């Protein structure tokens, strides 16, 4: 009976602490996205050359995005068939292409404002709702999927107007591979060309 009572007490304590843990995680995820957006805007609207701003944005991306995890999801089932060397090359190029895409649009972000809404749990992650507004453009609903798995928050997906950027990228890669005999090296070579090409 003592053992049973101890187990029931432990179970009750666990169930009682779950909502509190979710609330704390949701609050932390919301604060994380709020700071991220403030940091991005401070860089874009602040002083400094385009090169300085791009370098600052790279640091923000590296610190806030689960690049390795997102890269693996985007490659999908082909991650299992890729060699270790291909995985390393692909992950490095995924980072380079992502950073190039983000930093190549510094001028598009001037004057951006945002509001942070609710943060809700989704499995072991949190969805942080925001509305992002750009001058002369309609506001956009952007949800940020944040993982707390490593002890610190990391972005694992961005869902813009209901469209997952992570899943869209995976569909693009899958389509490319289907047209190239499912050859992962062909994708890597194409990504290297994209990464090495001059900024648009």
135-147 confidence digits (pLDDT tens): 888 899 999 999 9
Angle of CA points 159, 196, 37, to nearest 5°? 30
103 Cβ contact list (under 8 Å, min separation 6): 53, 54, 57, 58
* Structure confidence at residue 7 (pLDDT): 57
**CATH class assigned to 2-196:** alpha beta
Its pTM stands at 0.84
Instruction: Count the neighbouring beta carbons within 10 Å of the beta carbon of residue 65.
Output: 21
Instruction: Look at residue 143 in the predicted model and tell me its pLDDT.
Output: 97
Q: What percent of the chain has pLDDT over 90?
A: 70
Name which of 106, 110, 118 is nearest 61 in CA terms.
106
Over residues 111-128, mean pLDDT:
92
Residue 18 has pLDDT above 50, yes or no: no
Q: Under 8 Å CB-to-CB from 27, ≥6 apart: which residues? A: 119
């Amino acid at each position: 009976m003592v053992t049973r009572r101890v187990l029931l007490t432990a179970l009750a304590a666990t169930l009682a602490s779950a909502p509190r843990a979710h609330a704390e995680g949701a609050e932390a995820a919301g604060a994380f996205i709020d700071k991220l957006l403030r940091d991005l805007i401070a860089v874009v609207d602040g002083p400094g050359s385009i090169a300085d701003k791009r370098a600052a944005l790279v640091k923000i991306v590296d610190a806030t995005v689960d690049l390795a995890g997102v890269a693996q999801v985007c490659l999908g089932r082909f991650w299992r068939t890729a060699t270790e060397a291909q995985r390393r090359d692909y992950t490095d190029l995924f980072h380079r292409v992502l950073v190039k895409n983000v930093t190549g649009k510094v001028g598009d972000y001037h004057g951006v404002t945002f509001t942070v809404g609710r943060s809700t749990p989704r499995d072991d992650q949190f969805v942080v709702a925001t509305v992002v507004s750009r001058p002369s453009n309609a506001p956009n609903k952007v949800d940020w999927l944040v993982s707390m798995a490593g002890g610190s928050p990391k972005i694992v997906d961005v869902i813009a107007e209901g469209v997952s950027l992570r899943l869209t990228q995976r569909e693009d890669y899958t389509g490319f591979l289907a047209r190239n005999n499912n050859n992962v090296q062909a994708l890597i070579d194409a990504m290297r060309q994209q990464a090495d090409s001059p900024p648009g």
